[in-house]
Amino acid sequence: MAVLLLQDGRFFYGDIFGAEGETIGEVCFNTGMTGYQEILTDPSYCKQIVTMTSPHIGNYGVNSEDIESDKIQVAGFVIKEETEIPSNWRSRQSLGEYLKEQNIVGIQGIDTRALTRHIRDHGAMNGIISTINSDIESLKIKLTQAPKMAGLDLAKEVSCKNFYQYTQNNNYPYKIAAIDFGIKLNILRLLESNNCDVTVFPANVTSREIINFNPDGVFLSNGPGDPEAVKYGIKTVKELLGKKPIFGICLGHQILALALGAKTFKLKFGHRGINHPVKNLDTGKVEITSQNHGFVVDLDSLPANVNPTHVNLNDNTSAGIRCDEFRAFSVQYHPESSPGPHDSRYLFEQFIDMMKKN
Protein backbone atom coordinates (compact mmCIF):
# COMPACT_ATOMS: atom_id res chain seq x y z
CA MET A 1 0.00 0.00 0.00
CA ALA A 2 1.05 3.61 -0.64
CA VAL A 3 -0.35 6.96 0.44
CA LEU A 4 -0.22 10.47 -1.04
CA LEU A 5 -0.76 13.30 1.45
CA LEU A 6 -1.20 16.92 0.35
CA GLN A 7 -0.16 19.90 2.43
CA ASP A 8 -3.76 20.93 3.07
CA GLY A 9 -4.59 17.52 4.59
CA ARG A 10 -6.23 15.79 1.60
CA PHE A 11 -4.90 12.26 1.20
CA PHE A 12 -5.25 9.31 -1.17
CA TYR A 13 -4.49 5.64 -0.61
CA GLY A 14 -3.22 3.57 -3.53
CA ASP A 15 -0.72 0.94 -4.60
CA ILE A 16 3.07 0.98 -4.77
CA PHE A 17 4.39 2.09 -8.15
CA GLY A 18 8.14 2.06 -8.74
CA ALA A 19 10.51 2.10 -5.79
CA GLU A 20 9.53 1.85 -2.13
CA GLY A 21 10.26 4.70 0.25
CA GLU A 22 9.16 8.31 0.75
CA THR A 23 9.42 11.41 -1.38
CA ILE A 24 8.34 15.05 -1.02
CA GLY A 25 7.69 17.61 -3.75
CA GLU A 26 5.23 20.08 -5.20
CA VAL A 27 2.28 18.11 -6.58
CA CYS A 28 1.25 19.19 -10.08
CA PHE A 29 -0.48 17.60 -13.07
CA ASN A 30 0.31 17.07 -16.75
CA THR A 31 -2.48 16.62 -19.31
CA GLY A 32 -0.40 14.84 -21.96
CA MET A 33 -1.61 11.43 -23.13
CA THR A 34 1.90 10.54 -24.33
CA GLY A 35 5.45 11.64 -23.59
CA TYR A 36 5.69 10.28 -20.04
CA GLN A 37 9.36 9.37 -20.50
CA GLU A 38 10.21 12.89 -21.66
CA ILE A 39 8.25 14.26 -18.68
CA LEU A 40 10.07 12.04 -16.20
CA THR A 41 13.51 13.10 -17.48
CA ASP A 42 12.76 16.82 -17.93
CA PRO A 43 14.96 18.80 -15.47
CA SER A 44 12.19 21.41 -15.22
CA TYR A 45 10.31 18.90 -13.02
CA CYS A 46 13.01 18.85 -10.33
CA LYS A 47 11.41 18.69 -6.82
CA GLN A 48 7.93 18.05 -8.27
CA ILE A 49 5.57 15.11 -7.93
CA VAL A 50 3.88 14.80 -11.32
CA THR A 51 0.34 13.49 -11.75
CA MET A 52 -0.67 12.22 -15.18
CA THR A 53 -4.32 12.96 -15.99
CA SER A 54 -4.54 10.30 -18.72
CA PRO A 55 -5.81 7.09 -17.04
CA HIS A 56 -3.46 4.55 -18.67
CA ILE A 57 0.26 5.30 -18.61
CA GLY A 58 3.12 3.11 -19.80
CA ASN A 59 1.48 1.42 -22.79
CA TYR A 60 4.51 1.87 -25.08
CA GLY A 61 7.12 1.21 -22.39
CA VAL A 62 10.47 2.92 -21.98
CA ASN A 63 13.43 3.11 -24.36
CA SER A 64 16.95 4.56 -24.32
CA GLU A 65 16.26 7.32 -26.87
CA ASP A 66 13.29 9.37 -25.65
CA ILE A 67 15.10 10.97 -22.73
CA GLU A 68 15.60 14.68 -22.05
CA SER A 69 18.46 14.23 -19.55
CA ASP A 70 20.63 11.47 -18.14
CA LYS A 71 18.23 10.43 -15.37
CA ILE A 72 14.67 10.71 -14.03
CA GLN A 73 14.26 14.22 -12.61
CA VAL A 74 10.79 14.16 -10.99
CA ALA A 75 10.52 13.75 -7.23
CA GLY A 76 7.62 11.31 -7.59
CA PHE A 77 5.06 10.00 -10.07
CA VAL A 78 1.29 9.59 -9.73
CA ILE A 79 -0.92 7.66 -12.17
CA LYS A 80 -4.29 5.95 -12.28
CA GLU A 81 -3.10 2.66 -13.78
CA GLU A 82 0.15 1.35 -15.25
CA THR A 83 0.22 -0.73 -18.41
CA GLU A 84 2.44 -3.53 -17.11
CA ILE A 85 2.90 -5.23 -20.48
CA PRO A 86 4.01 -2.49 -22.90
CA SER A 87 3.65 -2.97 -26.64
CA ASN A 88 6.14 -1.15 -28.87
CA TRP A 89 9.08 -2.29 -30.94
CA ARG A 90 11.33 0.34 -29.31
CA SER A 91 10.44 -0.62 -25.74
CA ARG A 92 13.20 -2.01 -23.54
CA GLN A 93 11.42 -2.17 -20.16
CA SER A 94 8.17 -1.27 -18.45
CA LEU A 95 7.56 2.10 -16.83
CA GLY A 96 7.36 0.56 -13.35
CA GLU A 97 10.71 -1.19 -13.85
CA TYR A 98 12.23 2.11 -15.03
CA LEU A 99 11.08 3.93 -11.88
CA LYS A 100 12.28 1.12 -9.64
CA GLU A 101 15.66 1.01 -11.38
CA GLN A 102 16.21 4.73 -10.68
CA ASN A 103 14.74 4.61 -7.16
CA ILE A 104 11.77 6.89 -7.90
CA VAL A 105 8.79 6.53 -5.56
CA GLY A 106 5.34 6.58 -7.14
CA ILE A 107 1.73 5.70 -6.45
CA GLN A 108 -1.00 4.25 -8.67
CA GLY A 109 -4.60 3.19 -8.23
CA ILE A 110 -5.81 6.55 -6.93
CA ASP A 111 -8.52 8.80 -8.40
CA THR A 112 -6.30 11.10 -10.45
CA ARG A 113 -9.37 13.03 -11.63
CA ALA A 114 -10.19 13.98 -8.03
CA LEU A 115 -6.56 14.89 -7.35
CA THR A 116 -6.36 17.05 -10.48
CA ARG A 117 -9.58 18.88 -9.63
CA HIS A 118 -8.32 19.45 -6.09
CA ILE A 119 -5.11 21.04 -7.42
CA ARG A 120 -7.09 23.16 -9.89
CA ASP A 121 -9.35 24.39 -7.07
CA HIS A 122 -6.73 24.84 -4.35
CA GLY A 123 -3.50 25.30 -6.29
CA ALA A 124 -0.30 23.30 -6.62
CA MET A 125 1.07 22.44 -3.18
CA ASN A 126 3.63 20.24 -1.51
CA GLY A 127 2.83 16.60 -0.99
CA ILE A 128 4.44 13.40 0.23
CA ILE A 129 4.21 9.88 -1.16
CA SER A 130 5.06 7.08 1.27
CA THR A 131 5.10 3.32 0.84
CA ILE A 132 6.64 2.72 4.28
CA ASN A 133 4.45 4.83 6.57
CA SER A 134 0.67 5.15 6.43
CA ASP A 135 0.33 7.32 9.54
CA ILE A 136 -1.12 10.60 8.29
CA GLU A 137 -0.17 12.65 11.34
CA SER A 138 3.52 11.74 11.19
CA LEU A 139 3.57 12.43 7.43
CA LYS A 140 2.04 15.87 8.09
CA ILE A 141 4.98 16.72 10.35
CA LYS A 142 7.46 15.82 7.60
CA LEU A 143 5.54 17.94 5.08
CA THR A 144 5.69 21.04 7.27
CA GLN A 145 9.48 20.91 7.10
CA ALA A 146 9.59 20.97 3.28
CA PRO A 147 10.31 24.30 1.53
CA LYS A 148 7.73 25.76 -0.86
CA MET A 149 8.52 26.20 -4.56
CA ALA A 150 8.32 30.00 -4.41
CA GLY A 151 11.78 31.35 -3.67
CA LEU A 152 13.63 28.13 -4.58
CA ASP A 153 16.66 28.29 -6.87
CA LEU A 154 16.68 24.81 -8.44
CA ALA A 155 18.62 25.70 -11.60
CA LYS A 156 21.90 25.20 -9.75
CA GLU A 157 20.82 21.66 -8.80
CA VAL A 158 20.18 20.45 -12.35
CA SER A 159 22.73 22.50 -14.31
CA CYS A 160 25.99 21.03 -15.58
CA LYS A 161 29.00 21.76 -13.36
CA ASN A 162 31.44 22.58 -16.15
CA PHE A 163 31.07 23.76 -19.74
CA TYR A 164 31.15 21.17 -22.53
CA GLN A 165 30.81 21.09 -26.30
CA TYR A 166 27.65 19.29 -27.39
CA THR A 167 28.21 19.19 -31.13
CA GLN A 168 30.98 17.03 -32.55
CA ASN A 169 31.12 18.97 -35.81
CA ASN A 170 32.62 22.39 -35.18
CA ASN A 171 32.32 23.41 -38.83
CA TYR A 172 28.75 24.63 -38.38
CA PRO A 173 28.41 28.33 -39.25
CA TYR A 174 26.71 29.47 -36.02
CA LYS A 175 28.52 29.33 -32.70
CA ILE A 176 26.09 29.11 -29.78
CA ALA A 177 26.65 29.55 -26.05
CA ALA A 178 23.78 27.69 -24.35
CA ILE A 179 23.31 28.51 -20.66
CA ASP A 180 22.09 25.39 -18.87
CA PHE A 181 19.41 26.17 -16.30
CA GLY A 182 18.09 22.60 -16.77
CA ILE A 183 18.39 22.12 -20.52
CA LYS A 184 16.48 19.42 -22.43
CA LEU A 185 18.38 17.27 -24.90
CA ASN A 186 15.95 17.91 -27.73
CA ILE A 187 16.78 21.62 -27.60
CA LEU A 188 20.40 20.74 -28.25
CA ARG A 189 19.41 18.34 -31.02
CA LEU A 190 17.35 21.02 -32.78
CA LEU A 191 20.05 23.66 -32.46
CA GLU A 192 22.49 21.24 -34.08
CA SER A 193 19.98 20.39 -36.83
CA ASN A 194 19.88 24.13 -37.59
CA ASN A 195 23.66 24.15 -38.22
CA CYS A 196 24.64 25.43 -34.79
CA ASP A 197 27.91 24.55 -33.07
CA VAL A 198 26.70 24.37 -29.45
CA THR A 199 28.75 24.72 -26.29
CA VAL A 200 26.83 24.35 -23.02
CA PHE A 201 27.73 26.49 -20.00
CA PRO A 202 26.63 26.04 -16.36
CA ALA A 203 23.90 28.26 -14.93
CA ASN A 204 26.39 30.34 -12.93
CA VAL A 205 28.49 31.29 -15.95
CA THR A 206 29.53 34.94 -15.97
CA SER A 207 28.96 37.42 -18.76
CA ARG A 208 32.74 37.83 -19.09
CA GLU A 209 33.14 34.11 -19.79
CA ILE A 210 30.42 34.24 -22.46
CA ILE A 211 31.89 37.36 -24.10
CA ASN A 212 35.39 35.84 -24.10
CA PHE A 213 33.91 32.76 -25.78
CA ASN A 214 32.55 35.16 -28.44
CA PRO A 215 29.48 33.23 -29.68
CA ASP A 216 27.22 34.30 -32.53
CA GLY A 217 24.23 33.90 -30.22
CA VAL A 218 23.29 33.07 -26.62
CA PHE A 219 20.60 30.53 -25.76
CA LEU A 220 18.85 30.55 -22.35
CA SER A 221 17.42 27.14 -21.47
CA ASN A 222 14.40 25.88 -19.61
CA GLY A 223 14.72 24.83 -15.96
CA PRO A 224 12.96 24.38 -12.61
CA GLY A 225 12.17 26.63 -9.66
CA ASP A 226 11.44 30.30 -9.08
CA PRO A 227 13.05 32.54 -11.74
CA GLU A 228 13.48 35.44 -9.31
CA ALA A 229 15.74 33.23 -7.18
CA VAL A 230 18.22 32.77 -10.07
CA LYS A 231 19.85 36.13 -9.36
CA TYR A 232 23.24 35.18 -10.86
CA GLY A 233 21.53 34.19 -14.13
CA ILE A 234 19.56 37.43 -14.27
CA LYS A 235 22.76 39.40 -13.66
CA THR A 236 24.61 37.57 -16.45
CA VAL A 237 21.81 38.07 -18.97
CA LYS A 238 21.45 41.75 -18.06
CA GLU A 239 25.15 42.25 -18.78
CA LEU A 240 24.83 40.41 -22.13
CA LEU A 241 21.89 42.46 -23.41
CA GLY A 242 22.76 44.14 -26.68
CA LYS A 243 26.09 42.37 -27.03
CA LYS A 244 24.81 39.15 -28.64
CA PRO A 245 21.45 37.91 -30.01
CA ILE A 246 19.57 36.08 -27.24
CA PHE A 247 16.88 33.38 -27.44
CA GLY A 248 15.23 32.00 -24.30
CA ILE A 249 12.79 29.18 -23.54
CA CYS A 250 10.68 28.64 -20.39
CA LEU A 251 12.86 29.59 -17.38
CA GLY A 252 15.19 31.26 -19.88
CA HIS A 253 12.20 33.36 -21.02
CA GLN A 254 11.47 34.41 -17.45
CA ILE A 255 15.12 35.22 -16.72
CA LEU A 256 15.34 37.34 -19.88
CA ALA A 257 12.17 39.21 -18.88
CA LEU A 258 13.56 39.87 -15.39
CA ALA A 259 16.85 41.06 -16.88
CA LEU A 260 14.87 43.48 -19.08
CA GLY A 261 13.06 44.88 -16.03
CA ALA A 262 9.79 42.94 -16.02
CA LYS A 263 8.35 40.90 -13.13
CA THR A 264 7.18 37.30 -12.70
CA PHE A 265 4.59 35.60 -10.51
CA LYS A 266 3.54 32.07 -9.57
CA LEU A 267 0.49 30.55 -11.27
CA LYS A 268 -2.17 28.81 -9.22
CA PHE A 269 -1.53 25.38 -10.74
CA GLY A 270 0.74 26.01 -13.71
CA HIS A 271 0.61 24.98 -17.37
CA ARG A 272 1.76 21.41 -18.07
CA GLY A 273 0.74 19.45 -21.14
CA ILE A 274 1.17 19.13 -24.90
CA ASN A 275 -2.02 20.78 -26.14
CA HIS A 276 -1.93 24.38 -24.89
CA PRO A 277 -3.16 26.98 -27.42
CA VAL A 278 -0.96 30.04 -27.89
CA LYS A 279 -1.68 32.99 -30.16
CA ASN A 280 1.15 34.54 -32.15
CA LEU A 281 0.38 38.26 -31.91
CA ASP A 282 2.56 39.06 -34.94
CA THR A 283 0.81 36.68 -37.34
CA GLY A 284 -2.55 36.09 -35.65
CA LYS A 285 -2.03 32.33 -35.95
CA VAL A 286 -2.75 29.92 -33.12
CA GLU A 287 -0.09 27.35 -32.23
CA ILE A 288 -0.69 24.19 -30.21
CA THR A 289 2.22 24.01 -27.80
CA SER A 290 3.98 21.88 -25.22
CA GLN A 291 4.25 23.61 -21.83
CA ASN A 292 5.70 22.96 -18.40
CA HIS A 293 5.94 25.89 -16.00
CA GLY A 294 4.57 27.16 -12.69
CA PHE A 295 5.69 30.80 -13.02
CA VAL A 296 4.94 33.40 -15.72
CA VAL A 297 6.00 36.87 -16.78
CA ASP A 298 3.65 39.66 -15.68
CA LEU A 299 2.44 41.25 -18.94
CA ASP A 300 1.57 44.50 -17.17
CA SER A 301 5.16 44.87 -15.99
CA LEU A 302 6.81 44.80 -19.44
CA PRO A 303 8.98 47.89 -20.06
CA ALA A 304 8.18 50.14 -23.02
CA ASN A 305 10.97 48.63 -25.16
CA VAL A 306 9.67 45.05 -24.71
CA ASN A 307 6.79 43.78 -26.84
CA PRO A 308 4.54 40.80 -26.11
CA THR A 309 4.67 38.38 -29.07
CA HIS A 310 2.61 35.40 -27.86
CA VAL A 311 -0.22 34.94 -25.40
CA ASN A 312 -1.65 31.82 -23.79
CA LEU A 313 -5.28 31.52 -24.89
CA ASN A 314 -6.34 29.51 -21.83
CA ASP A 315 -5.74 32.36 -19.39
CA ASN A 316 -4.25 35.26 -21.43
CA THR A 317 -0.88 35.08 -19.68
CA SER A 318 2.46 35.88 -21.31
CA ALA A 319 3.77 33.26 -23.73
CA GLY A 320 6.47 35.26 -25.53
CA ILE A 321 8.32 38.59 -25.65
CA ARG A 322 10.74 40.44 -27.94
CA CYS A 323 13.11 43.34 -27.42
CA ASP A 324 14.34 44.65 -30.76
CA GLU A 325 16.64 47.16 -29.07
CA PHE A 326 18.75 44.34 -27.59
CA ARG A 327 18.09 41.68 -30.28
CA ALA A 328 16.49 39.34 -27.75
CA PHE A 329 13.33 37.22 -27.75
CA SER A 330 11.90 34.34 -25.77
CA VAL A 331 8.86 32.10 -25.33
CA GLN A 332 7.29 30.57 -22.25
CA TYR A 333 6.47 27.26 -23.92
CA HIS A 334 8.66 24.50 -25.45
CA PRO A 335 9.16 24.80 -29.23
CA GLU A 336 11.53 21.80 -29.16
CA SER A 337 8.40 19.88 -28.01
CA SER A 338 9.44 16.26 -27.83
CA PRO A 339 7.30 14.24 -28.59
CA GLY A 340 5.25 17.09 -30.05
CA PRO A 341 3.43 19.11 -31.32
CA HIS A 342 5.77 20.79 -33.81
CA ASP A 343 3.87 24.02 -34.52
CA SER A 344 6.57 26.26 -33.02
CA ARG A 345 9.80 24.87 -34.48
CA TYR A 346 10.08 28.05 -36.60
CA LEU A 347 11.43 29.86 -33.56
CA PHE A 348 14.81 28.16 -34.00
CA GLU A 349 14.92 29.50 -37.56
CA GLN A 350 14.02 32.93 -36.19
CA PHE A 351 17.06 32.70 -33.92
CA ILE A 352 19.24 31.80 -36.94
CA ASP A 353 17.88 34.78 -38.90
CA MET A 354 18.67 37.10 -35.99
CA MET A 355 22.28 35.88 -35.94
CA LYS A 356 22.55 36.24 -39.73
CA LYS A 357 21.50 39.88 -39.52
CA ASN A 358 23.91 40.45 -36.64
What single DSSP character describes residue 322?
E
Same domain, 74 and 135: yes
Domain that holds residue 339: 155-357
Which residue of the set 118, 253, 276, 334 is catalytic? 334
Same domain, 249 and 131: no
Main-chain dihedrals φ then ψ at residue 76, nearest 5 degrees: -165, 170
Same domain, 347 and 218: yes
What single DSSP character describes residue 160?
-
Main-chain dihedrals φ then ψ at residue 334, nearest 5 degrees: -115, 95
- CATH number assigned to the domain comprising residue 111: 3.50.30.20
pLDDT tens figures, 223-262: 999 999 999 999 999 999 999 999 999 999 999 999 999 9
Coil, strand or helix at 77: strand
Same domain, 83 and 184: no
Produce one character per residue of 203-238: b if its CB has 16 or more CB atoms within 10 Å, e if not.
Answer: bbbebeebeebebbbbbbbbbbbbbbbbeebbbbbb
pLDDT at 14: 98
Same domain, 188 and 248: yes
**118 is known as an active-site residue:** no
How many Å apart are CA 126 and CA 143, to the nearest integer?
7
Same domain, 43 and 103: yes
Same domain, 8 and 28: yes
**Does 241 map to a domain?**
yes
Angle between helices 231-240 and 251-260 (to 10 degrees): 60
pLDDT tens figures, 176-226: 999 999 999 999 999 999 999 999 999 999 999 999 999 999 999 999 999
Amino acid at 31: T
**Does 306 map to a domain?**
yes
Same domain, 196 and 339: yes
* Angle 323-284-255 from CA coordinates, rounded to 5°: 30
Q: How many domains does the chain have?
A: 2
pLDDT at 66: 93
Same domain, 173 and 86: no
Which residue of the set 26, 38, 68, 336 is catalytic? 336
How many Å apart are CA 47 and CA 302, to the nearest integer?
29
pLDDT at 74: 98
Q: Which of 88, 111, 144 is the last residue of a domain?
A: 144
pLDDT at 165: 96
Residue ranges in the chain whose pLDDT is less than 50: none
* Listed residue (78, 15, 12, 19) closest to 49, CA to CA: 78
- CATH number assigned to the domain comprising residue 295: 3.40.50.880
pLDDT at 169: 77
CA distances from 251 to 4, 141, 208 (A): 28, 32, 22
Which pTM value belongs to this model? 0.96
Pairing mode, if any, of strands 125-130 and 22-30? antiparallel
**Does 160 map to a domain?**
yes
**Does 132 map to a domain?**
yes
Q: Which of 116, 144, 172 is the last residue of a domain?
A: 144
**Does 149 map to a domain?**
no
CA distances from 74 to 37, 206, 323 (A): 11, 28, 34
Same domain, 206 and 254: yes
Which residue of the set 82, 250, 253, 276 is catalytic? 250
Same domain, 97 and 201: no
**250 is known as an active-site residue:** yes
**Does 150 map to a domain?**
no
How many Å apart are CA 310 and CA 283, to the nearest integer?
10
**Does 269 map to a domain?**
yes
**28 is known as an active-site residue:** no
pLDDT at 171: 86
pLDDT at 339: 78
Same domain, 18 and 77: yes
Beta strands in 39-184 (DSSP E): 48-52, 56-57, 76-78, 81-82, 105-108, 125-130, 164-165, 174-180
What single DSSP character describes residue 19?
B
What single DSSP character describes residue 171?
T
| Number of residues written out for the chain | 358
Q: Which of 122, 144, 166 is the last residue of a domain?
A: 144
**Does 348 map to a domain?**
yes
